[in-house]
Structure 1
Amino acid sequence: MKLYHFSDKSDIRIFNPRVKHNRQNMPPVVWAIDQQHEFTFYFPRDCPRIVYTRTEGISDEDDHKFFGLTDSNIVITVEVGWYKRINKTTIFRYELPVESFKLFDEFAGYYISEESINPIGIKPLDNLIERLTELNIEIRFTPNLNPLRETLLKSSIKDFGIHRFENARKL
Protein backbone atom coordinates (compact mmCIF):
# COMPACT_ATOMS: atom_id res chain seq x y z
CA MET A 1 0.00 0.00 0.00
CA LYS A 2 1.13 3.54 -0.76
CA LEU A 3 -0.13 6.66 0.98
CA TYR A 4 0.06 10.20 -0.34
CA HIS A 5 -0.50 13.78 0.63
CA PHE A 6 -1.16 16.38 -2.07
CA SER A 7 -0.14 20.01 -1.89
CA ASP A 8 0.42 23.06 -4.06
CA LYS A 9 3.71 23.53 -2.18
CA SER A 10 6.88 21.84 -3.40
CA ASP A 11 9.06 22.27 -0.33
CA ILE A 12 7.37 20.49 2.59
CA ARG A 13 9.98 18.70 4.72
CA ILE A 14 7.70 17.55 7.54
CA PHE A 15 3.96 17.15 7.96
CA ASN A 16 2.91 18.10 11.46
CA PRO A 17 -0.49 17.10 12.85
CA ARG A 18 -3.05 19.87 12.56
CA VAL A 19 -6.77 20.39 12.96
CA LYS A 20 -8.46 20.22 9.57
CA HIS A 21 -10.61 23.23 8.62
CA ASN A 22 -13.75 21.12 8.16
CA ARG A 23 -13.15 18.70 11.07
CA GLN A 24 -12.76 21.03 14.02
CA ASN A 25 -14.04 18.35 16.42
CA MET A 26 -11.04 16.06 15.74
CA PRO A 27 -7.61 16.15 17.33
CA PRO A 28 -4.68 17.33 15.19
CA VAL A 29 -3.65 14.69 12.63
CA VAL A 30 -1.73 14.26 9.40
CA TRP A 31 -4.01 13.23 6.54
CA ALA A 32 -3.12 10.81 3.75
CA ILE A 33 -4.97 9.13 0.92
CA ASP A 34 -4.36 5.70 -0.53
CA GLN A 35 -3.19 5.07 -4.07
CA GLN A 36 -6.61 3.79 -5.19
CA HIS A 37 -8.27 7.13 -4.38
CA GLU A 38 -5.44 9.58 -5.12
CA PHE A 39 -7.21 10.83 -8.28
CA THR A 40 -9.68 12.72 -6.08
CA PHE A 41 -6.85 15.17 -5.38
CA TYR A 42 -5.81 15.85 -8.99
CA PHE A 43 -7.19 19.37 -8.58
CA PRO A 44 -6.07 22.75 -7.25
CA ARG A 45 -6.30 22.76 -3.45
CA ASP A 46 -9.46 24.85 -3.10
CA CYS A 47 -11.32 23.47 -6.11
CA PRO A 48 -14.88 22.42 -5.20
CA ARG A 49 -15.81 19.09 -6.74
CA ILE A 50 -18.12 16.15 -6.37
CA VAL A 51 -16.83 12.63 -6.96
CA TYR A 52 -19.14 9.63 -7.12
CA THR A 53 -18.68 5.98 -7.97
CA ARG A 54 -21.00 3.34 -9.38
CA THR A 55 -21.19 0.51 -6.86
CA GLU A 56 -23.59 -2.28 -5.96
CA GLY A 57 -26.82 -1.16 -4.37
CA ILE A 58 -27.50 1.82 -6.63
CA SER A 59 -31.11 1.89 -7.76
CA ASP A 60 -31.82 1.52 -11.47
CA GLU A 61 -33.24 5.05 -11.47
CA ASP A 62 -30.07 6.52 -9.93
CA ASP A 63 -27.82 4.46 -12.18
CA HIS A 64 -29.63 5.93 -15.17
CA LYS A 65 -29.69 9.46 -13.69
CA PHE A 66 -26.01 9.63 -12.71
CA PHE A 67 -24.34 7.17 -15.12
CA GLY A 68 -26.85 6.81 -17.97
CA LEU A 69 -24.67 8.02 -20.81
CA THR A 70 -21.23 6.89 -19.65
CA ASP A 71 -19.40 3.61 -19.32
CA SER A 72 -17.17 5.10 -16.62
CA ASN A 73 -17.76 3.96 -13.06
CA ILE A 74 -16.40 7.21 -11.63
CA VAL A 75 -17.67 10.71 -12.37
CA ILE A 76 -16.15 13.95 -11.11
CA THR A 77 -18.08 17.18 -11.53
CA VAL A 78 -16.45 20.59 -11.21
CA GLU A 79 -17.73 24.11 -11.72
CA VAL A 80 -16.82 25.65 -15.09
CA GLY A 81 -14.97 28.53 -13.45
CA TRP A 82 -12.22 26.11 -12.38
CA TYR A 83 -11.45 24.67 -15.82
CA LYS A 84 -8.54 26.99 -16.68
CA ARG A 85 -7.04 26.73 -13.18
CA ILE A 86 -7.11 22.94 -13.34
CA ASN A 87 -5.34 23.02 -16.71
CA LYS A 88 -2.63 25.40 -15.45
CA THR A 89 -2.03 23.81 -12.04
CA THR A 90 0.90 21.68 -10.99
CA ILE A 91 0.36 19.84 -7.72
CA PHE A 92 2.87 17.88 -5.68
CA ARG A 93 2.26 14.32 -4.56
CA TYR A 94 4.18 13.47 -1.41
CA GLU A 95 4.62 9.79 -0.64
CA LEU A 96 4.38 9.09 3.09
CA PRO A 97 5.60 6.14 5.15
CA VAL A 98 2.61 4.00 6.13
CA GLU A 99 3.68 2.73 9.56
CA SER A 100 1.92 5.24 11.84
CA PHE A 101 -1.25 5.68 9.76
CA LYS A 102 -4.60 4.11 10.53
CA LEU A 103 -7.65 3.86 8.29
CA PHE A 104 -10.11 6.71 8.79
CA ASP A 105 -12.59 6.32 5.90
CA GLU A 106 -12.56 3.24 3.68
CA PHE A 107 -14.89 4.69 0.98
CA ALA A 108 -12.67 7.76 0.56
CA GLY A 109 -9.33 6.04 1.16
CA TYR A 110 -8.40 8.44 3.97
CA TYR A 111 -5.79 7.58 6.59
CA ILE A 112 -4.66 9.60 9.60
CA SER A 113 -1.62 9.74 11.85
CA GLU A 114 -1.16 11.61 15.11
CA GLU A 115 2.63 11.74 14.55
CA SER A 116 4.73 14.18 12.57
CA ILE A 117 5.64 12.62 9.21
CA ASN A 118 8.69 13.05 7.01
CA PRO A 119 7.80 12.41 3.34
CA ILE A 120 9.79 9.70 1.55
CA GLY A 121 9.28 11.13 -1.93
CA ILE A 122 7.73 13.94 -3.95
CA LYS A 123 6.50 14.05 -7.53
CA PRO A 124 5.09 17.04 -9.42
CA LEU A 125 1.86 16.31 -11.31
CA ASP A 126 0.50 18.42 -14.14
CA ASN A 127 -1.87 17.76 -17.06
CA LEU A 128 -4.43 16.85 -14.41
CA ILE A 129 -7.45 16.47 -16.69
CA GLU A 130 -5.45 14.20 -18.98
CA ARG A 131 -4.41 12.08 -15.98
CA LEU A 132 -8.05 11.65 -15.00
CA THR A 133 -9.21 10.69 -18.48
CA GLU A 134 -6.41 8.11 -18.71
CA LEU A 135 -8.02 6.45 -15.67
CA ASN A 136 -11.37 6.27 -17.53
CA ILE A 137 -12.85 8.83 -15.16
CA GLU A 138 -15.53 11.04 -16.62
CA ILE A 139 -15.09 14.73 -15.83
CA ARG A 140 -18.13 16.95 -16.08
CA PHE A 141 -18.29 20.72 -15.83
CA THR A 142 -21.32 22.62 -14.58
CA PRO A 143 -22.03 26.26 -13.78
CA ASN A 144 -23.08 25.35 -10.21
CA LEU A 145 -22.54 22.23 -8.07
CA ASN A 146 -25.46 22.84 -5.72
CA PRO A 147 -28.18 21.04 -7.72
CA LEU A 148 -25.97 17.96 -8.13
CA ARG A 149 -25.10 17.95 -4.42
CA GLU A 150 -28.75 18.11 -3.36
CA THR A 151 -29.75 15.36 -5.79
CA LEU A 152 -26.81 13.14 -4.84
CA LEU A 153 -27.53 13.43 -1.10
CA LYS A 154 -31.07 12.13 -1.74
CA SER A 155 -29.91 9.28 -4.00
CA SER A 156 -29.01 5.64 -3.39
CA ILE A 157 -25.33 6.38 -4.16
CA LYS A 158 -23.23 5.83 -1.04
CA ASP A 159 -19.69 6.06 -2.45
CA PHE A 160 -19.22 9.78 -3.02
CA GLY A 161 -17.17 12.72 -1.87
CA ILE A 162 -17.99 16.40 -1.77
CA HIS A 163 -14.71 18.32 -1.65
CA ARG A 164 -14.11 21.98 -0.76
CA PHE A 165 -17.80 22.74 -1.16
CA GLU A 166 -17.43 25.99 0.80
CA ASN A 167 -15.78 27.32 -2.40
CA ALA A 168 -18.69 26.39 -4.66
CA ARG A 169 -20.93 29.05 -6.12
CA LYS A 170 -23.91 29.95 -3.98
CA LEU A 171 -27.40 29.34 -5.30
Structure 2
Amino acid sequence: MLPAAGELLHFSEDPAIRRFTPHVAATAQQPEAYVWTVDALNAPSYWFPRQCPRVCSWGGADAPDVPRVHAVEESWLATMRATRLYAYRFAAADFEPFGERPHAHVATRAVAPLGPPVAVGDLVTVHEVHDIELRVLPELEEHFAVVRARGLEFSGIRMGNAGIGPGGPFPTRR
Protein backbone atom coordinates (compact mmCIF):
# COMPACT_ATOMS: atom_id res chain seq x y z
CA MET A 1 0.00 0.00 0.00
CA LEU A 2 2.03 2.87 -1.37
CA PRO A 3 0.92 6.28 -2.66
CA ALA A 4 0.59 6.91 -6.38
CA ALA A 5 2.58 9.68 -8.06
CA GLY A 6 1.49 13.07 -6.72
CA GLU A 7 -0.15 11.54 -3.67
CA LEU A 8 0.58 11.10 0.01
CA LEU A 9 -1.06 8.70 2.47
CA HIS A 10 -2.47 8.83 5.98
CA PHE A 11 -3.11 5.51 7.74
CA SER A 12 -5.90 5.05 10.26
CA GLU A 13 -7.91 2.31 11.94
CA ASP A 14 -10.98 4.53 11.44
CA PRO A 15 -12.61 4.01 8.01
CA ALA A 16 -15.12 6.85 8.41
CA ILE A 17 -13.05 10.06 8.38
CA ARG A 18 -14.43 12.54 5.82
CA ARG A 19 -12.26 15.57 6.56
CA PHE A 20 -8.93 15.84 8.36
CA THR A 21 -8.51 18.84 10.66
CA PRO A 22 -5.11 19.93 11.99
CA HIS A 23 -4.52 18.99 15.62
CA VAL A 24 -1.66 18.62 18.07
CA ALA A 25 -1.07 14.90 18.54
CA ALA A 26 -0.70 13.56 22.08
CA THR A 27 2.82 12.40 21.18
CA ALA A 28 3.77 15.64 19.38
CA GLN A 29 7.14 17.23 20.02
CA GLN A 30 6.02 20.54 18.53
CA PRO A 31 3.12 22.83 19.51
CA GLU A 32 1.72 23.42 16.00
CA ALA A 33 -1.42 21.70 14.78
CA TYR A 34 -1.02 19.56 11.65
CA VAL A 35 -2.60 16.95 9.42
CA TRP A 36 0.11 14.32 8.89
CA THR A 37 0.80 12.24 5.78
CA VAL A 38 3.68 10.12 4.47
CA ASP A 39 5.33 9.43 1.14
CA ALA A 40 6.29 6.12 -0.47
CA LEU A 41 9.56 5.82 1.49
CA ASN A 42 7.86 6.28 4.84
CA ALA A 43 4.47 4.65 4.22
CA PRO A 44 5.68 1.12 5.13
CA SER A 45 6.59 2.37 8.62
CA TYR A 46 2.86 2.83 9.23
CA TRP A 47 1.65 -0.65 8.24
CA PHE A 48 1.07 -1.41 11.92
CA PRO A 49 -1.59 -0.90 14.57
CA ARG A 50 -1.33 2.72 15.72
CA GLN A 51 0.00 1.99 19.21
CA CYS A 52 2.37 -0.82 18.14
CA PRO A 53 6.04 -0.11 18.88
CA ARG A 54 8.26 -0.83 15.88
CA VAL A 55 11.74 -0.30 14.51
CA CYS A 56 11.97 0.18 10.75
CA SER A 57 15.36 0.33 9.04
CA TRP A 58 16.74 0.53 5.51
CA GLY A 59 20.01 1.28 3.79
CA GLY A 60 19.41 4.66 2.22
CA ALA A 61 21.71 6.45 -0.25
CA ASP A 62 24.94 5.33 1.49
CA ALA A 63 23.95 1.65 1.57
CA PRO A 64 21.30 1.01 -1.11
CA ASP A 65 21.81 -2.77 -1.01
CA VAL A 66 20.76 -3.07 2.65
CA PRO A 67 17.24 -4.51 2.66
CA ARG A 68 14.38 -2.88 4.50
CA VAL A 69 13.64 -4.58 7.83
CA HIS A 70 10.78 -3.91 10.23
CA ALA A 71 10.75 -5.34 13.75
CA VAL A 72 7.93 -5.73 16.27
CA GLU A 73 7.57 -7.41 19.63
CA GLU A 74 6.02 -10.89 19.75
CA SER A 75 3.20 -9.62 21.94
CA TRP A 76 1.94 -7.43 19.06
CA LEU A 77 1.80 -10.06 16.31
CA ALA A 78 -1.80 -11.19 16.98
CA THR A 79 -2.92 -7.55 17.11
CA MET A 80 -1.15 -6.89 13.80
CA ARG A 81 -3.04 -9.74 12.20
CA ALA A 82 -6.39 -8.60 13.66
CA THR A 83 -6.09 -4.86 12.99
CA ARG A 84 -7.99 -3.38 10.09
CA LEU A 85 -5.98 -0.49 8.74
CA TYR A 86 -7.08 1.97 6.06
CA ALA A 87 -5.08 4.24 3.77
CA TYR A 88 -6.43 7.69 2.94
CA ARG A 89 -5.04 9.29 -0.24
CA PHE A 90 -4.28 13.01 -0.44
CA ALA A 91 -2.95 15.36 -3.12
CA ALA A 92 0.73 15.96 -2.33
CA ALA A 93 0.31 19.60 -3.43
CA ASP A 94 -1.78 20.24 -0.29
CA PHE A 95 1.15 19.35 2.04
CA GLU A 96 4.65 20.57 2.88
CA PRO A 97 7.63 18.40 3.87
CA PHE A 98 8.16 18.36 7.64
CA GLY A 99 11.65 18.87 9.06
CA GLU A 100 15.16 19.12 7.68
CA ARG A 101 15.17 15.45 6.63
CA PRO A 102 11.47 15.04 5.92
CA HIS A 103 9.90 11.91 7.34
CA ALA A 104 6.38 13.22 6.89
CA HIS A 105 4.37 15.89 5.11
CA VAL A 106 1.98 18.23 6.88
CA ALA A 107 -0.95 20.52 6.19
CA THR A 108 -1.96 23.39 8.47
CA ARG A 109 -5.52 23.59 7.18
CA ALA A 110 -8.34 21.06 6.94
CA VAL A 111 -8.08 18.72 3.96
CA ALA A 112 -10.36 16.13 2.43
CA PRO A 113 -9.07 12.81 1.09
CA LEU A 114 -9.16 12.22 -2.67
CA GLY A 115 -11.66 9.40 -2.19
CA PRO A 116 -12.79 6.74 0.25
CA PRO A 117 -10.13 4.95 2.28
CA VAL A 118 -8.62 1.72 0.97
CA ALA A 119 -8.26 -1.29 3.26
CA VAL A 120 -4.57 -2.21 3.61
CA GLY A 121 -5.32 -5.88 4.27
CA ASP A 122 -3.34 -8.27 6.44
CA LEU A 123 -0.45 -6.23 7.86
CA VAL A 124 1.97 -9.15 7.81
CA THR A 125 1.13 -9.99 4.20
CA VAL A 126 1.59 -6.39 3.01
CA HIS A 127 5.18 -6.59 4.27
CA GLU A 128 5.73 -9.82 2.34
CA VAL A 129 4.22 -8.40 -0.85
CA HIS A 130 6.65 -5.46 -0.71
CA ASP A 131 9.69 -7.65 0.15
CA ILE A 132 10.12 -6.12 3.61
CA GLU A 133 11.44 -8.51 6.22
CA LEU A 134 9.22 -8.46 9.31
CA ARG A 135 11.14 -9.59 12.37
CA VAL A 136 9.14 -10.68 15.38
CA LEU A 137 11.31 -10.32 18.49
CA PRO A 138 10.82 -10.80 22.22
CA GLU A 139 11.75 -7.13 22.71
CA LEU A 140 12.93 -4.23 20.55
CA GLU A 141 15.60 -2.37 22.50
CA GLU A 142 18.59 -4.53 21.53
CA HIS A 143 17.58 -4.55 17.86
CA PHE A 144 17.05 -0.78 17.95
CA ALA A 145 20.55 -0.28 19.41
CA VAL A 146 22.08 -2.43 16.64
CA VAL A 147 20.22 -0.47 13.93
CA ARG A 148 21.45 2.85 15.33
CA ALA A 149 25.02 1.56 15.72
CA ARG A 150 25.10 0.40 12.08
CA GLY A 151 24.25 3.91 10.90
CA LEU A 152 21.20 2.77 8.93
CA GLU A 153 18.32 5.00 8.03
CA PHE A 154 15.64 4.18 10.59
CA SER A 155 12.40 5.07 12.27
CA GLY A 156 11.54 4.03 15.81
CA ILE A 157 7.82 4.59 16.28
CA ARG A 158 5.80 4.31 19.49
CA MET A 159 8.94 3.14 21.30
CA GLY A 160 7.38 4.40 24.54
CA ASN A 161 5.09 1.37 24.21
CA ALA A 162 7.98 -1.09 23.90
CA GLY A 163 7.70 -3.73 26.61
CA ILE A 164 4.00 -3.01 26.93
CA GLY A 165 1.84 -5.48 25.05
CA PRO A 166 -1.57 -4.63 23.63
CA GLY A 167 -3.13 -5.86 26.90
CA GLY A 168 -0.82 -3.94 29.24
CA PRO A 169 2.65 -4.21 30.76
CA PHE A 170 4.68 -7.38 30.31
CA PRO A 171 5.45 -9.34 33.43
CA THR A 172 8.89 -8.58 34.80
CA ARG A 173 11.56 -10.43 32.81
CA ARG A 174 14.38 -12.16 34.65
TM-score, length-normalised on structure 1?
0.83
- In 1, distance between residues paired with 2:13 and 2:96? 24
CA distance in 1, matches of 2:60, 2:120: 28
Q: What is the match of residue 128 of structure 1?
A: 123
Q: Once structures 1 and 2 are overlaid, which stretch shifts more, 159-168 or 49-58?
A: 49-58
- Structure 1 unmatched runs, 5+: 59-70
Does the 8 Å contact 1:37/1:108 carry over to 2? no
Map 1:46-125 to 2 at 5 A.
46-57=51-62, 73-105=67-99, 109-121=103-115, 122-125=117-120
After superposition, the Cα gap between the structure-2 partners of 1:110 and 1:101, relative to the gap in structure 1 and judged at 3 Å, is same
**Aligned partners of 2:123, 2:104: CA distance in 1, in Å?**
21
Could you tell me how far 1:105 is from its partner in structure 2? Answer: 4.9
2:140 to 133, 138, 145: 145
What is the CA–CA distance in structure 2 between the aligned matches of 1:139 and 1:103, rounded to whole Å? 27
Paired residue for 1:23, among 25, 28, 31?
A: 28
Q: Deviations over 1:33-72 (max 9, x none)?
A: 11343221111111100000023445xxxxxxxxxxxx86
Identity of aligned residues (%): 26
Shift of the 107–129 alpha-carbon distance from structure 1 to 2, 3 Å rule, reads: farther
Q: Are the structure 2 counterparts of residues 108 and 47 from structure 1 closer, same or farther at C-alpha, using a change threshold of 3 Å?
A: farther
TM-score by length of 2: 0.82
Using the alignment, how far apart are the partners of 1:136 and 1:11 within structure 2? 30
- Equivalent of residue 17 in structure 2, options 1, 12, 18: 12
Q: Give the match's secondary structure for 1:31.
A: strand
What secondary structure sits across from 2:42 in the alignment? helix
1:74-104 deviation digits (Å, cap 9, x = unpaired): 0000000011111111101111122220111
Structure 2 unaligned spans of 5+: 1-5, 165-172
